[in-house]
Structure 1
């Protein structure tokens, strides 16, 4: 058993709540732009004073409509300015936010809203309102339904005209640090999602310590963050609250479809995303270079960036020749890539899934360090992350200051700290199982080095045992295979089988370009090319790269290319893009059998 901890850098308020942040910012930084909204395609800054006024107005409307302290209020919307406004308004009304993914099915919405017992609900679009209405007969406690795109905030403003600022301030002081701030329903790779109760203390301990440990990245009046993650996910929620704690400017966009343009217009100094975002940036840049006839230059520049970053971890540092080469490529390639990322930032924080070491070295080598972290809904997002000044690529960093990470005798990662969740809503049995002996049992397998840096090597429940008795952690090889531009998803199989195999889906964004470069018919699909020798050879290179990271007994010997991508709509991915392994195994049982056919 091994454990590591760091002292807290932030003192959690004894009896405060998250609504206090908005009032504090208005009092201490009245003219600082704490958030930006897009109006007619143009970013408009909102000062802390203006934001407080708008939060109070929305809270007044909720109070006038009968929302009581402790009531659960659902919020179903894409990432946008109004999401953050309403989140803080719900807290200012003394209520508890229940986020709902805007892609949720009617059945999922019915479960989350009924289990949490919401009394009011905000939705964004007509489709969202229709989904809630379709299950309203199963929601006897739901009294109010407001739609953002149908004048919901204007209605709140009208309702609250008779409510005073003093009334709101009194109401916003009702909740204490250990009271629930939000109930976040876990994505649920198996079974129904559980409602994870996160307190105001959880977020203060999480966001306050993240900001203080990464203070150079959170300089008030200088730094900014662009949020494009779903706010129904706890990582997105942390990205929303931490800038307010700092405070620095926060911009919000609904998705990553036009991310390059959004980065260019907002020009953030800090980006927080998931590995797929950084994989797309790399793969898109490489594909564009190849299309422009500069593929060889890009590949040489990438190799130089990786070598340069790796040399930074050696006592002697990069040799003179590599420094010269790096400087040349900085003008030819790296500077352009940093411009694509907004042109002002030097750091990003990545979480939600593992980031490959090669990609980590590539980005640090071009002068844009991606600091990898690790966390769960139950740990209020990051429970470990790489510090800006002591990055160790290949790890998920050191524990959140003020918390403890322990590796149990069986390799499971255990956590302790103020940032942890309080309980699973209405589920004492699951709570007792997860919070045994004062420690949260993550279900993840990992190791701690002598400096307290954590490596995650797999999931306890996902460990495969081959017919030969070999334990295989799928995550290690899956992450390496998925790093290939053509690969969208990869799922390793082999439990009880004679060897390890894999199911692979093709990234539709890159398939067309690959087809054009390799003389395949226009309009070709993954289904039509599933047995194409050239495509199979390309995927084999990805598999070979993955196999290089594991022993022979753990390596993938055969794979199958599937005809379609996994998606949330198909039921194979959770809203946070995690594989539903049991569903994939059931739906593609014939493909798995084909791997092991004689």
Structure 2
């Protein structure tokens, strides 16, 4: 038996067990870093200033135990649902771990979720308490009080000096809950130990509601063993190390974000936590992470930003960037091919010399922007364009693309830093099995697979077989043990000419060649040709527009201009040269604004809701196909 397999089989029943073991093993080691306001009365303290503070594992445990005991004091018991609606911050982790150590089950809610859907999640889960980040999250529950008979208590992270009234609810601050917990522990000192010892690995730990593209979200039931497995598997795979410093900004309400907590508890490495997306660029050189996780959209924006700045500088600098970008891709692609063929990283001497020169001129600056010591960045939740992957790999910022779903606790396979295969999502985590069905659908089985959809037995039976195999809905293949995703099964469409088209493949290719694109949706189901709806990246297109006689124009005016249409058409034609005839984009429409979460066009994990976008821009689609002959 391999050491990795042994670790998997010897895993404890829950993350709560792992947490208490971690605290006992390294109580004085640093566990978390988080930004906090500087005391304005302190030296150099200015209003609005921030500094990073730390918690040791022992200090974290004190707060977690106080929260857990506080929940017990207000009547929360085993498997009672407790909701958490907040952005990514240290309090999120403390509340979640408090839930687990109390034996409660966390129901995650995105803070961006509207009041109606928040009420549905709280009601459907039967949540008895709610950790709310601020008054805005509190207001969502108050607005639907009559739909939430089980909800009794709301705990605020950020509370005004005078707590707001909320008829029918007991409202308290997180500090007040911790105070009650401390008092409870004074009378019941072994309460936490007993609660954790009583946890069963098949006991409900978390309900995460899938954002979905249509209809109400489904609650995915993840038990304690799911998180324990994912934590141990991340260490066993070599993905995480005890000396890592991990920067966490992803939404912890999403399974991809939450899985990071489990792995960090197992290895005991430092985690810096700040979910403010507008602070990422500022935080990276300060935190100097060795590891971080991200969605592909962030890497696309970083690449577009780098390309945009180089273009704005013009002349020699832009030519150097284009040359360095090509060298990065060529070096990464050839080195990977040689590693697969011979087991050794190698490249021709001339390319190696060019790569060394490009490194000094360009790549060192890119690595410095990420903090200078990033050994890998895990990418998930959506497909990463291979050309983007090759660029960053060649520049010394390896993107470790992985794969998983909410229904599989977020982690099923991932690339390893020592053997990256760009264009794949790596090899399965230890303990996870992968099988490709006859129709190409990816099937997964392992401890991370959900135990079903909450109160939806028929929908559970549609995707989960009695022997544990889960139908992912994704199409893919296994190549030398590496999993490659082709497309979402439901997204693959057939043209009126009978040709199958995988839209995400085309969309990924376009993102790799067009630095101005933000989102693209390829359309063509039942049509006689493919078309595309394209949203541009405002931060990149507006500087270009200012230099091309469009200064002072609004974003909507810019994208409607002949100059921009001609610009994007050039990239579309370039894309078409790399596609089969039936895949080519014959017509496209530039959207008057980019797709976003607020209009319901993107999920919180930035996936496009295709039916919503097609409905919203139905007139644009109809115009593209006006006069065409449909078979």
TM-score computed with the length of structure 1 as normaliser = 0.95
Q: Note the 1:38-77 alignment, pairs <5 A.
A: 38-40=35-37, 41-77=50-86
SS of residue paired to 2:130: strand
Distance (whole Å) between structure 1 residues aligned to residue 10 and residue 148 of structure 2: 36
Secondary structure at the counterpart of residue 42 of structure 1: strand
Q: Give 1:230-269 correspondences, 5 Å limit.
A: 230-269=251-290
Alpha-carbon shift at residue 157 of structure 1 (Å): 2.0
Matches of 1:14 and 1:529 in 2, distance apart?
A: 56
| 2:533 aligned to which of 497, 500, 503 | 503
Moved more, 425-434 or 170-179: 170-179
State the partner residue of 1:33: 30
| Correspondence for 2:349 | 320
Choose which of 282, 294, 297 in structure 1 pairs with 2:320: 297
CA separation of 1:149/1:13 partners in 2, compared to 1, >3 Å: closer, same or farther? farther
Over 3 Å counting, the alpha-carbon distance change for 1:539 and 1:9 in structure 2 is farther
**Cα deviations by residue, 1:437-457 (Å, 9 ceiling, x for unpaired):** 5310011111111x1111111
Give how far 1:360 is off.
1.0
Deviation at 1:15, TM superposition (A): 5.7
Equivalences for residues 132-171 of structure 1 within 5 A:
132-150=141-159, 152-164=173-185, 165-171=189-195
TM-superposed deviation, 1:505: 1.2
* Structure-2 residue corresponding to 1:443: 473
Match runs of 1:206-225 below 5 Å = 206-215=230-239, 218-220=240-242, 222-225=243-246
Name the SS of the counterpart of 2:490 in structure 1. Answer: helix
Q: Is 2:41 aligned against 1:20?
A: no
Q: Secondary structure at the match of 1:382?
A: coil
1:472-491 mapped onto 2 (5 Å cutoff): 472-483=501-512, 484-491=514-521
Asked which structure has the greater RCO (Cα within 8 Å, sep 6+), the reply is 1
Structure 2 gaps of 5+ residues are 38-49, 160-171, 339-344
Corresponding position of 2:301? 280
Offset at 1:65?
A: 0.9
Aligned-pair distance for 1:497?
1.0
Q: Measured at CA, do residues 521 and 414 of structure 1 come closer, stay the same or move farther in structure 2, by a change above 3 Å?
A: same
On the 8 A contact 1:14/1:177 being kept in 2, the answer is no
Matches of 1:362 and 1:511, distance apart in 2: 21
Q: Is 2:379–2:400's contact at 8 Å kept on the other side of the alignment?
A: yes
SS in 2 for 1:454: strand
Correspondent of 1:462 among 478, 491, 506: 491
Q: Contact 1:338–1:368 at 8 Å: present in 2 too?
A: yes
The answer on whether the counterparts of 2:378 and 2:400 sit within 8 Å (CA) in structure 1 is yes
* Displacement of 1:549: 4.8
Q: Aligned partners of 2:216 and 2:6: how far apart in 1?
A: 37
1:373 to 392, 399, 402: 402
**Structure 1 stretch displaced more, 63-72 or 475-484:** 475-484
Check whether the contact 1:8–1:403 (CA below 8 A) recurs between aligned residues. Answer: no
* 1:38 to 1:531, Cα distance in 2 relative to 1, 3 A: closer
2:126 and 2:577 mapped to 1: Cα distance? 50
Residues 12 and 204 in structure 1, CA contact (< 8 A), matched pair in contact too: no
Cα distance in 1 for partners of 2:203, 2:244 equals: 31
Report whether the alignment pairs 1:404 with 2:433.
yes
CA shift digits 1:5-31 (9 cap, x unpaired): 997363255662111222111111112
- Aligned pair 1:513/2:543, yes or no? yes
- 1:76-87 mapped onto 2 (5 Å cutoff): 76-87=85-96
Q: Distance in 2 between matches of 1:458 and 1:9?
A: 34
Contact 1:231 1:237 in 2 (8 A): yes
Q: Distance in 2 between matches of 1:521 and 1:9?
A: 63
SS in 2 for 1:69: coil
- Name the SS for the 1:257 alignment partner: helix
Q: How far does the alpha carbon of each residue in 1:316-355 deviate from its partner, in whole angstroms, 9 at most, with x for none?
A: 8212122222112212211111010011212111111111
Secondary structure in 2 matching 1:121: strand
Q: Which piece of structure 1 moves more, 293-302 or 539-548?
A: 539-548
Aligned residue among 213, 225, 229 for 2:250: 229
Equivalent position of 1:129 in the other structure: 138
Over residues 242-267 of structure 1, what are the superposed CA-to-partner deviations in whole Å (9 max), with x where a residue is unaligned?
Answer: 11111111111123212111111111
Which residue of 312, 322, 331 corresponds with 1:308?
331
Contact 1:6 / 1:400 at 8 angstroms: preserved in 2?
Answer: no
1:413 — aligned with what?
442
Number of residue equivalences: 589
Q: Cα RMSD over matched residues?
A: 1.8
Q: Any unmatched runs of 5+ in structure 1?
A: none
CA contact (8 A) 2:493 2:500 kept: yes
Give the TM-score taking structure 2 as reference length: 0.90
Q: How many angstroms apart in 2 are the aligned matches of 1:392 and 1:549?
A: 21
> Distance between the aligned counterparts of 2:27 and 2:558, measured in 1?
59
Question: Which stretch shows the higher mean deviation, 421-430 or 41-50?
Answer: 41-50
My pick for the range that moved more, 371-380 or 283-292, is 283-292
